[in-house]
Structure 1
Amino acid sequence: METKNRTAITIEATVKAPVEKVWEYFNGPEHIVNWAFASEDWHAPKATNDLRVDGQFSTTMAAKDGSFSFDFGGVYTAVIEHKLIEYTLGDGRKVKVTFTSQGNETKVVETFEAEDTHSIEMQRGGWQAILDNFKKYTETK
């Protein structure tokens, strides 16, 4: 099997909420369906999450007009409550998410391996838009 060096992309957001709430909203399927999309013309009609090492997760992301949808999923490789999540996507790319408590705020940093189809800028923008949507949802609920 060929090992490919992939570009790592990092995005981040500081959420005005304690780490316990941020963790719950980031990982609870009942919350994921409310934020796991990059723009208002998309939505996440379904999410499952077995948050443990070797557990699987899947989120369906779909255009609201029904023209396109895909499942975003993978398997967890590390989980440290309120601190760290690492997983491998279905295509083999790796993702690391850290949660740093800063009192009543939480810094969320995601580093993911880029795929080969879309530009680095497009991938960074899409993932950042989803994280920004998560921040907005968590801060207003």
Structure 2
Amino acid sequence: MDLDEEYESYFENAWPKAFEVIKELAEDRQEESQKISVKTSIQAPVSRVWECWTEPEHIRQWNAASPDWHCPAAKNDLRTNGRFSYRMEAKDGTHGFDFEGEYDKVEAQRHIAYTMDDGRKTDVHFMAYGDITVVEEIFDPEMSNPLEMQQTGWQAILDNFKDHVEQQQSS
């Protein structure tokens, strides 16, 4: 680029800063668009769905992505700024992790927003349509596993939840 020498030092400093700002804006927008959503419809009233979603004795029964995993421990202080902690483990004892975070917002039988301990955000919406409740989770992905794998895992847990609630409903 041809330019006067008096402007050369300005552009040498300004252009890298401008490109860094553009890069940050693009990355922020990309992160927003990479949220993952999973959803299910459950044959149960929202009050029952809410109870099964929030009470530790129910959480321990459905919170696993596959039959070879389980949730041996669950704690839940369901209120804004309250904390939750779910222990997820392979049944053979080879792997395990704690899924923990803090509630940002709790609207009974409507909406839960929380931040996981790694800083990622999740919104859970409960939409009541008579005796059918739609549950949708929208979450920030983590960066170490493919997006499709994360969506499949979270959907599997949500499918287990649906099965649990509907089994509770029929008994």
Q: CA deviation at 1:72?
A: 0.4
Letter in 2 for 1:19: V
In structure 2, C-alpha distance between the alignment counterparts of 1:74 and 1:90, rounded to whole Å: 5
Trace 1:30-69 onto structure 2 (pairs within 5 A). Answer: 30-69=57-96
Higher relative contact order, structure no. (Cα contacts within 8 Å, ≥ 6 residues apart): 1
In structure 2, C-alpha distance between the alignment counterparts of 1:56 and 1:122, rounded to whole Å: 26
TM-score (norm 2): 0.80
In structure 2, C-alpha distance between the alignment counterparts of 1:103 and 1:73, rounded to whole Å: 32
Instruction: Tell whether 2:29 aligns with 1:14.
Output: no
What count of residue pairs does the alignment treat as equivalent?
140
Unaligned runs of 5+ in 1: none
User: Radius of gyration: which is bigger?
Assistant: 2
Letter in 2 for 1:121: E
Deviations 1:76-134 (CA, angstroms, capped at 9, x unpaired): 00000000000000100000000000100100010000110000000000000000000
How large is the RMSD of aligned CA atoms in angstroms? 1.3
Find the counterpart in structure 2 of residue 75 from structure 1: 102
Letter in 2 for 1:20: S
In structure 1, C-alpha distance between the alignment counterparts of 2:62 and 2:159, rounded to whole Å: 9
Match 1:117 to one of 144, 148, 168: 144
Identity of aligned residues (%): 48
* Between structures 1 and 2, the one with greater strand share: 1
Unaligned runs of 5+ in 2: 1-23
**Structure 1: 4+ residue segments shifted above 4 A:** none
Find the counterpart in structure 1 of residue 16 from structure 2: none
Match 2:163 to one of 116, 119, 136: 136
